[in-house]
Amino acid sequence: MLQVNNVGGVTKVSFEPGSKLNLAQASEVKAEFVNIVKGTGGRMELDMKNLEYVDSSGVGALLSLLRLCREFKWDLTLMGLQPSVRELFNLLQLHTIFKIK
């Protein structure tokens, strides 16, 4: 579900085209996030342009990623939010706790 590349010391993570982050995928994605965030002091850019839908379980997975990044002192930036996902982030005030480009 996630594609991971390391470019110039930045871990670039993106969702596969047509992805949905809902109850069915949330635990798998959380496990993938744990495998990605290793060591202390990394930098991650999470490209969400292919993410078409996020439900409350998906939001929980993203919040878990944020906690994980803070714990291991990683800098996390979200990018390419689709309008429906951006609307959800604004509604839940998530834009105030995530760094979004």
How far apart (Å, rounded) are the C-alpha atoms in residues 97 and 101? 13
Q: In this predicted structure, what is the pLDDT of residue 92?
A: 96
Please give the average pLDDT of every successive group of 10 residues along the chain, which has 101 residues: 93 96 95 92 96 96 97 97 95 96 93
- Asked whether the beta carbons of 56 and 21 are under 8 A apart, the reply is no
Q: What is the pTM of this model?
A: 0.94
Q: In this predicted structure, what is the pLDDT of residue 38?
A: 83
